[in-house]
Structure 1
């Protein structure tokens, strides 16, 4: 998990996600970039994959916070961002108040591999980028879609980790 001294990470994430503070994405990505790039990602076929938003959330916010993080992170890690590798097939409820089981059901069938990147995704090592991981339901749904699209290896990077109800970590 990454952090900024003197500021709660949850406040930073909330400001980016809901407050329109898009410029904090650069600082968040800088912190994220200090994490070790997965050692087994040395091949040329690697890319960052931001978690996609539904069209309605994209319109509502005007940006995808995961996309902003991925683009800023790409500058530090010198890898491409494939914004179009996966897509939301349908709108889902907000995950914030859902139990781990409800999160899985909420996301079922909501993310799919895009045809536009099918040749690129096949055999690639892809790193999913998101702001926060709670139960990993979103990351797992993205990974499932990418594996179905032919990806060879999936990793992920997030700025923070939130505790889910009943989490013992």
Structure 2
């Protein structure tokens, strides 16, 4: 299981015009595009389910922010996306299973190597977690560093992980 590639489901490319809207959500709290992007994600998920490529998870888990970053920003865009998906798909949202225990630097602008180092030991999974299929929810996946750091926590307990995001940012220059 640990060697299997992480399944990332995204309906859009960050660099094909969606990036400015995702950034506006994350940095300015402008969620006007949220409904359209969540609808696109749901359509993508349903198509992949119909092909037998993905199986619906038991719970949705938003990527957590450190408490100081949450206070600074005032919201967690991953939680808002997860809440919207939870309501639309009738899948429970669990927002207290994973904690960000290290107040890391923002990942934007870091190389792939710096991103991996930045997130070492950043997350912890609570001891009692009884689900076997989870979807980690985030706004955008670039190098996959955050998703992989979280997935390792679950995979060490033999829990199947998918990552659902609004956009995928292809960034080959960050793979050093």
TM-score under structure 1 length normalisation: 0.83
Q: Deviations over 1:66-86 (max 9, x none)?
A: 111111112222211111121
For 1:119 and 1:162, how far apart are their aligned partners in 2? Answer: 30
Say which structure, 1 or 2, has more relative contact order (CA 8 Å, 6+ apart): 2
2:12–2:168 CA contact under 8 A, matched in 1? no
Matches within 5 A, 1:57-136: 57-115=69-127, 118-121=128-131, 124-136=132-144
Distance 1:81 1:73, change over 3 A: same
One of 22, 25, 38 as aligned partner of 1:16 = 25
Aligned to 1:158: 165
1:25–1:68 CA contact under 8 A, matched in 2? no
Helix, strand or coil at the partner of 1:13 = helix
**Contiguous gaps of at least 5 residues in structure 1:** none
For 2:138 and 2:118, how far apart are their aligned partners in 1? Answer: 18
**Pairwise CA distance, 1:97:** 0.7
81-90 vs 29-38, which moves further: 29-38
1:86–1:145 CA contact under 8 A, matched in 2? no
Aligned to 2:55: 41
Helix, strand or coil at the partner of 2:107 = coil
TM-score under structure 2 length normalisation: 0.80
